[in-house]
Structure 1
Amino acid sequence: MTDHVAPVQALLLVDVQTAFVSGAEAVPDAARLLRHSRDLLDRARTSGALVVHLQNDGPPGAADEPGTPGWELFLPVEDHGREVVVRKTEDDGFDGTALGALLDRAGVRAVAVCGVMSEMCVAATARAALARGHRVVLPHDAHATYDIPARPGVSDAVPAVTVSRVAEWSLGDEVEIPAHAADVPFSSAGHG
């Protein structure tokens, strides 16, 4: 059974950066995340939807420090007006950026969100989009995070898949969570 999802006019790819999706330090099951993110990206481009690559500028010494190989976006950006990069320093992709104005100018009412980390930047950006009146679709198979290590006296380790599901649940009943990215349709801004 597939979830019925109405079309969205924009795709927000959250922090799909080399440090988080490739190599030994990649999120668990990064291949799955990338497969579904690429599918969303290809279909958004084909439909004429707005594509926004959010790129986190980490602090000095971090895996995503600007200018380092880990900071680079993993999925190539097409150079045209319907695909842009928005750099950020906070978990919320709207905080201190032009993302809100960009979506407004494009007439976007509904967004699909994918990327990393489920409980941090993905959830914060989805929550902020909801607060700004956007319809938000968060495909379950298109976001990921790391395992939470055990902490003596607090909890056992928490698997990444559980952390991602809890992050979805924490967004409440306004966010739409289809099981599969393939079930998310796109339309150009101002339509759908």
Structure 2
Amino acid sequence: MAKALVIIDVQAGILPAKGTERPAVRQRFDEVRRRIFGLVGEARRQGVPIIFVQHAGEPGHRLETGTPGWEICGDLGRTADDLVVGKTACDSFYKTDFQAVLAGRGVRHLVVAGLMTQYCVDTTCRRAVSLGYDVTLVADAHTTADMPSLTVEQIVDHHNTLLDGFDAGNAAIRVRPASEAFEAAMESCPGRAAKAGNG
């Protein structure tokens, strides 16, 4: 099954301004970018296409199109040969050419990393499964900001647990660390049978 590495919204302005968050938020963002750089290198070694999803914000948004905050972070190993899909909603498939890009390369399995965990990462993973794509969510290569009642660590842990085994028909999400993200086989997700019928 052909795979693609999908990197969502790793843009310069994705997090609130420096100094307004706990230091751990920025530290995790740095760590996630380093892991994504490693994933990009592995994807190239395996001949896996790399797709960057870039949020296009409206005027005044921190990801406003054409502003420095909108730019994809420069330390991810991106080249001119990599694909870029622009979006305007949490769902990377919503009113975009994402599906056409995947279809043109015969991709049926997405390896997903990026930001923000509870918004664009979660929504895109769920939508992908509903459209029949298998998904590997890279457990240690997605992140977000703190919320009023939850830390980034809690949000990431929650989504890694919640999404592992999420399925629709024959498609499912598995959550794996970066070191296992490109394993060849899509094995049965742990807990998938237990979760069946829990809708």
Q: With structure 2 as the length reference, what TM-score do the two structures score?
A: 0.79
Q: Which residue does the alignment assign to 1:108?
A: 107
Does 2:7 align with 1:13? yes
Instruction: Show structure 1 runs of 4+ deviating over 3 A.
Output: 25-28, 168-172
Q: Alignment partner for residue 150 of structure 2, among 147, 158, 170?
A: 158
Q: 5+ residue gaps in structure 2? A: 166-171, 185-199
Q: Which residue does the alignment assign to 2:80?
A: 79
CA contact (8 A) 1:10 1:186 kept: no
State the secondary structure of the residue aligned to 2:173: coil
Query: CA offset at residue 49 of structure 1?
Result: 0.8
Q: 5+ residue gaps in structure 1? A: 1-6, 150-156, 188-192
Q: Looking at secondary structure, tell me which structure has more strand per residue.
A: 2
Between the aligned partners of 2:77 and 2:97, the Cα distance in structure 1 is 21
Between the aligned partners of 1:10 and 1:102, the Cα distance in structure 2 is 10
In the TM superposition, 1:123-138 aligns within 5 A as 123-138=122-137
Matched to 2:78, the amino acid is V
Between the aligned partners of 2:2 and 2:155, the Cα distance in structure 1 is 26
Query: CA offset at residue 77 of structure 1?
Result: 3.0
Q: Which residue does the alignment assign to 2:46?
A: 47
Q: Which residue does the alignment assign to 1:176?
A: 174
What root-mean-square deviation, in Å, do the aligned CA atoms of Structure 1 and Structure 2 show?
A: 2.1
Between the aligned partners of 1:116 and 1:134, the Cα distance in structure 2 is 20
- Greater relative contact order (Cα 8 A, min sep 6): structure 1 or 2? 1
Q: With structure 1 as the length reference, what TM-score do the two structures score?
A: 0.81
Distance 1:36 1:19, change over 3 A: same
Percent of counterpart pairs with the same letter? 32
Between the aligned partners of 2:69 and 2:133, the Cα distance in structure 1 is 31
CA contact (8 A) 1:8 1:186 kept: no
State the secondary structure of the residue aligned to 2:7: strand
